[in-house]
């Protein structure tokens, strides 16, 4: 793939390196020449010094033939404008942008952009790891709005059904593993102590599930 990375900060340099090592053709744009020092010595992509808000700079990077563009500068306003320009003026639909300041997230949503908020995702992930040991997060979609969790059915839920355990909203069963064999069970299936469940859930959904498990353990 031909990919343009706008911004050669910590994220941009790491992304550009990973993409080139996967065999993609990469062009990196940054207006500060010293930013390119973050790239490894074996970087084989192209570097373009200039302001990505300038159409000529984007054209020098080969945007007419680009299969995708990642806009990862430390300026949210720049990221939004460059992404909008790439979509509207050059017809690029495969665009991913970095949200630098969480309070600016609505700006990206207003332009309907595929956004990654590293601060928001990181904070949610650290929160989960710090004090949620009963239900373990395995995978995060988007910026953590939906996650896949894994937990072991405690003795207090032995003999109850899956429907009894799961909240009505915001939580869906992905798989159940019993005696080493995984299956997608019916909601009416009876749980056994030691079953391992995987669920996909929103923040609200997993909070309700944790509360239900806690209340039954206290009975």
What CATH number has the domain bearing residue 94? 3.40.50.720
Is residue 27 domain-shared with residue 85, that is, in the same domain?
yes
Grade residue 132 by pLDDT with cuts at 50, 70 and 90: low
DSSP code for 191:
P
- pLDDT at residue 7 above 70? yes
Residue 209 lies in a domain: yes
Domain termination residue (choose one: 120, 154, 180): 120
Q: How many percent of the chain have pLDDT more than 70?
A: 95
pLDDT at residue 183 in the model: 94
Average pLDDT of span 78-93:
94
CATH of the domain at 147: 3.30.70.1450
Nearest to 51 by CA among 84, 78, 88: 78
pLDDT at residue 189 in the model: 94
β-bridge mates for residue 113, sequence order: none
Is residue 31 domain-shared with residue 115, that is, in the same domain?
yes
Q: Is 60 exposed, middle or buried (0-12, 13-18, 19+ CB in 10 A)?
A: middle
Task: Assess contact for 53 and 78: CB atoms under 8 A.
Answer: yes
Number of domains in the chain: 2
Residue 203 lies in a domain: yes
Q: How far is residue 180's CA from residue 207's CA, in Å, rounded to a whole number?
A: 27
Q: What is the largest CA-CA distance in the chain?
A: 68
Is residue 138 domain-shared with residue 88, that is, in the same domain?
no
Residue 46 lies in a domain: yes
- pLDDT at residue 130 above 80? no
Residue 125 lies in a domain: no
Grade residue 91 by pLDDT with cuts at 50, 70 and 90: very high
Of the ranges 52-66, 117-131, 205-219, the best mean pLDDT one: 52-66
- pLDDT at residue 30 above 90? yes
Q: How many percent of the chain have pLDDT more than 90?
A: 65
Is residue 16 domain-shared with residue 111, that is, in the same domain?
yes
Task: Assess contact for 74 and 9: CB atoms under 8 A.
Answer: yes
Q: What is the pLDDT of residues 161-189, one digit of tens each?
A: 999 999 989 999 999 999 889 999 888 99
- pLDDT at residue 29 above 80? yes
pLDDT at residue 218 in the model: 57
Give 94 or 217, the one with higher predicted confidence.
Answer: 94
For all residues of the chain together, what is the average pLDDT?
Answer: 90
- pLDDT at residue 121 above 90? no
Is residue 154 domain-shared with residue 194, that is, in the same domain?
yes
Q: How far is residue 196's CA from residue 55's CA, in Å, rounded to a whole number?
A: 53
User: Where do the H-state alpha helices sit in the chain?
Assistant: 10-21, 55-60, 76-90, 105-110, 118-131, 162-165, 203-218
Residue 165 φ/ψ, nearest 5 degrees: -80, -45
Is residue 102 domain-shared with residue 155, that is, in the same domain?
no
Residue 140 lies in a domain: yes
Six-digit token string for 131:
């004090």
Residue 126 lies in a domain: no
Domain termination residue (choose one: 85, 120, 155): 120
Give 128 or 148, the one with higher predicted confidence.
Answer: 148
* Structural domain for 66, as ranges: 2-120
Give the SS3 label for residue 50.
coil
Q: How far is CA 6 from the centre of its chain?
A: 19
Look at the block and give the residue holding tokens 């993609």: 24
Is residue 94 domain-shared with residue 146, that is, in the same domain?
no
Is residue 104 domain-shared with residue 47, that is, in the same domain?
yes
- pLDDT at residue 125 above 60? yes
Q: How far is residue 18's CA from residue 196's CA, in Å, rounded to a whole number?
A: 35
């Amino acid at each position: 793939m031909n990919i343009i990375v706008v911004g050669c900060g910590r994220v941009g340099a790491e992304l550009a390196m990973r993409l080139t090592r996967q065999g993609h053709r990469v062009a990196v744009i940054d207006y500060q020449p010293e930013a390119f020092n973050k790239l490894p010595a074996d970087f084989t992509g192209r570097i373009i010094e200039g302001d990505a808000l300038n159409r000529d700079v984007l054209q020098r990077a080969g945007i007419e033939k680009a299969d995708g563009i990642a806009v990862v500068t430390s300026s949210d306003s720049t990221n939004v404008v460059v992404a909008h320009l790439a979509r509207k003026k050059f017809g690029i639909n495969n665009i991913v942008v970095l949200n630098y300041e969480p309070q600016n997230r609505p700006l990206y949503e207003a332009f309907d952009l595929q956004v990654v908020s590293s601060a928001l995702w990181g904070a949610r992930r650290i929160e989960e790891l710090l004090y949620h040991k009963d239900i373990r997060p395995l995978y995060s979609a988007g910026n953590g709005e939906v996650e896949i969790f894994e937990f072991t059915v405690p003795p207090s839920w032995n003999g109850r059904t899956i429907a009894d355990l799961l909240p009505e909203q915001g939580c869906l069963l992905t798989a159940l593993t019993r005696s080493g064999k995984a299956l997608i069970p019916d909601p009416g299936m009876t749980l056994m102590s030691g079953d391992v469940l995987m669920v996909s859930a929103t923040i609200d959904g997993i909070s309700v599930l944790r509360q239900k498990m806690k209340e039954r353990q206290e009975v």
